[in-house]
Structure 1
Amino acid sequence: MPLFDLPLDELRDYRSASAEPEDFDAFWSKTLQESREHDLDARFEPVDTGLTTVRTYDVTFAGFGGHPVKGWLTVPAGADAPLPLIVEYIGYGGGRGLPHEHLLWASTGRAHFVMDTRGQGSGWGGGGGTADPVGGAPAYPGFMTRGIDAPENYYYRRVFTDAVRAVEAARSHPLTDAARTVAIGGSQGGGITLAVGGLVPDLTAVAPDVPFLCDFPRATTLTDRHPYREIGLYLKTHRGRADEVRRTLSYFDGVHFAARGRAPALFSAALEDLTCPPSTVFAAFNAWAHEDKDIEVYEFNDHEGGGPYQEAAKARWLAGRL
């Protein structure tokens, strides 16, 4: 796929036209306050994985609405004191998978928590185990339009709340150091990382790779690739609801969370990425509020982005911050 978006020099200055709701902060403050009325009830059950270099815990905690959310916590086998904590979020359609799918970050001497994504985990990888017990209005198959009739009902309100609670759950374990906490993720996981970066004020760093859920006004009209295309197909049937949908999505746009980012950040973008177009990634990067930020650019890659090269870049970058 040849380059299809703005030239790189224009990307570095690009700003989103996404309109931030006046009650954005109030909406999220109320959402998190309501969630915290439920006991976090974080439980860590040791798992016999057969692996000798790490210890893994099967985690359950209360997310949005007190609903049970799963995760894995993996630490180096010999850990006996609090470790820097890396909280990871998963790409669209995936779940927490199996413990042996997540060995990189514990192998660097950190505690690693991976959150299951409610209702997902059936599209790729080793699967997931977290249901989404909330129903909703008619939606296009997928997750992008579930509850899109109103911000209060939207699917990602639940997911982003789960993600904040995941940080709180992971920090509650005695082998994690709450003062050294990093959020990471790619694609959908990158979009969730941006939300957490805007909602959790005391993170050490964030690293969103080719993040999804950014600059909805441009993304939904620039690419015809799923998952963004789900929104267009919904509106193709539900004619006349575009303004209502835009309003809902504005509460979940990574650009607005980025404007509240208070930690150093390492982004990545791929210039041939048709799933998360580079301009939408740069929209969030350029809005990121903390001055210590950088972005790795992969000129000839699609949505796979930097892949293992980006993992190596993150490891080097985090070494100076943890």
Structure 2
Amino acid sequence: MLTDLPLDQLESYRSSQTEPPDLDDFWAGTLAEAAGHDIGLRLSPVATGLTTIDTYDVTFRGYAGQDVRAWLRVPAGHPGPLPAVVQYVGYGGGRGHACENLFWASAGFAHLQMDTRGQGSGWSVGETPDPAPAGPQVPGVMTRGILDPASYYYRRLYTDAVRAVDAARSLPQVDADRVAVLGGSQGGGLAIAVAGLRADLAAAVAFVPFLCDFPRATRITDSYPYREIADYLKTHRESVERVHRTLGYFDGVNLARRAGAPALFSAALMDATCPPSTVYGAFHEYAGPRRMLLWEYNGHEGGGILDEVRALEFLREHLAA
């Protein structure tokens, strides 16, 4: 069943999200602090038994100079710098196993898959801790530090995601002028955020993105992870304004307004996890060239493999030498 607005209303929908007046200063200071730490890039070859893909265990320094793990996968024996895809993972997941997620390297890209701090136990393995103090929160990470943008969990994760692009550009296997970001759900939200926080991307891809249009998302869906915020506000009744103030610094709607790289989005009309209006809220604000893949009879799986096939065509168009 449809979970949200019909298509004609999605095309005219605009988010009610407003921008914090110091949004740009907040992110400039956060990213400048992170950039003060050397990227600390470390690579170790991994023996996977695969003959067509070379895999490396990667560590780089993200938020506050803290170590973040990743996998690098490249076509075996490729002699020169490659276009790169930096991929972010969906909610609850980590970078997974070294032999998983072989699509992008098989298609000829250098593929850096970032681990997700403090997650990576829900449906795939992760190895990056989130050492920040948590405080009172609903289980999950959506409300970790949510009363202040400086302490909010996603300040750290968004910074890691930006630094992953720095790590990719530092790799000898990568052509630094041809780097794209990509992800689905939470990973799609991270791709939008990074596109808004950097001006040097070749492209961005966001499948059924999460972390968009919080004022609407937290009120129209009963599904987790957005439901974590509603659960928190059920008991912290006097913190509604304060929580939404924090979320404004991390909303894909606000960060999309700052993005310039060509972008491919996807949305699904039967998606209860990331309702399509929330995706369109960010899509309509995206400042760079943008396209939408809309799946009428799908839920949060979106277009599945067809999303990736269309993204492959899109990235070959924008990352061609």
Q: Which residue of 1 aligns with 2:58?
A: 59
**Alpha-carbon distance, 1:6 to partner:** 1.2
1:255 is displaced (CA, Å) by 0.5
Q: CA deviation at 1:238?
A: 1.2
Q: Deviations over 1:110-134 (max 9, x none)?
A: 1000000000100003x01000010
Deviation at 1:136, TM superposition (A): 2.7
Quote the Cα distance in structure 1 between the aligned partners of 2:134 and 2:107: 42
SS at match of 1:240: helix
Report how many residues are paired.
319
**SS state of the match for residue 184, structure 1?**
strand
Distance between the aligned counterparts of 1:224 and 1:301, measured in 2? 18
Give, in whole Å, the separation in 2 of the partners of 1:169 and 1:321.
Answer: 21
The alpha-carbon deviation at position 13 of structure 1 amounts to 1.8
- 5+ residue gaps, structure 2, are none
CA distance in 2, matches of 1:308, 1:39: 37
Report the CA distance between 1:203 and its aligned residue.
0.5
Of residues 11-20 and 112-121 in structure 1, the stretch that sits farther from structure 2 once superposed is 11-20
Residue 227 of structure 2 is aligned to residue 222 of structure 1: no
Describe the superposition over 1:53-79 as per-residue Cα deviations: whole angstroms up to 9, x where unpaired: 011110001110111100001100021
Q: Which amino acid aligns with 1:275?
A: T
Report the alpha carbon displacement of residue 293 of structure 1 after superposing the two structures with TM: 1.1
Give SS of 1:241's match: helix
Contact in 2 for aligned 1:142/1:230 (Cα 8 Å): yes
2:23 aligns with 24
For the residues of structure 2 that align with 1:4 and 1:38, how far apart are their CA atoms?
A: 44
8 Å CA contact 1:258–1:287 kept in 2: the answer is yes
Distance in 1 of aligned mates of 2:42 and 2:153:
25
| Other structure's SS at 1:60 match | strand
1:265 is aligned, of 263, 266, 269, to 263
Partner of 1:309: 306
Which of structure 1's runs of 4+ aligned residues deviate more than 6 A? none
How big is the shift at 1:205? Answer: 0.5
Please say if residues 137 and 149 of structure 1, whose CA atoms lie closer than 8 Å, have aligned partners that are also in contact: no
Equivalent runs, 1:1-322 vs 2, <5 Å: 2-125=1-124, 127-290=125-288, 292-322=289-319
Q: Unaligned 5+ residue runs, structure 1?
A: none
Give, in whole Å, the separation in 1 of the partners of 2:278 and 2:237.
Answer: 25
Aligned-pair distance for 1:177? Answer: 0.7
* Aligned-partner residue type, residue 250 of structure 1: G
Q: Structure 2: which amino acid aligns with 1:267?
A: F
| 2:50 maps to amino acid | L
Deviates more, 1:142-151 or 1:132-141: 132-141
Superposition CA RMSD, Å: 0.7
Q: Secondary structure at the match of 1:145?
A: coil
- Following the alignment from structure 1 to structure 2, what is the Cα–Cα distance between the partners of residues 143 and 237? 17
Give how far 1:179 is off. 0.3
In structure 2, C-alpha distance between the alignment counterparts of 1:178 and 1:10, rounded to whole Å: 40
Per-residue deviation, 1:4 = 2.8
Distance, in Å, in 2 between the alignment partners of 1:272 and 1:12 is: 16
- Percent of paired sites with the same residue: 58
The alpha carbon displacement at 1:200 in A equals: 1.2
Query: Could you tell me how far apart the structure 1 residues matched to 2:107 and 2:77 are?
Result: 13
CA–CA distance in 2 between the matches of 1:12 and 1:229?
25
Q: Distance in 1 between the 2:285 and 2:100 partners? A: 33
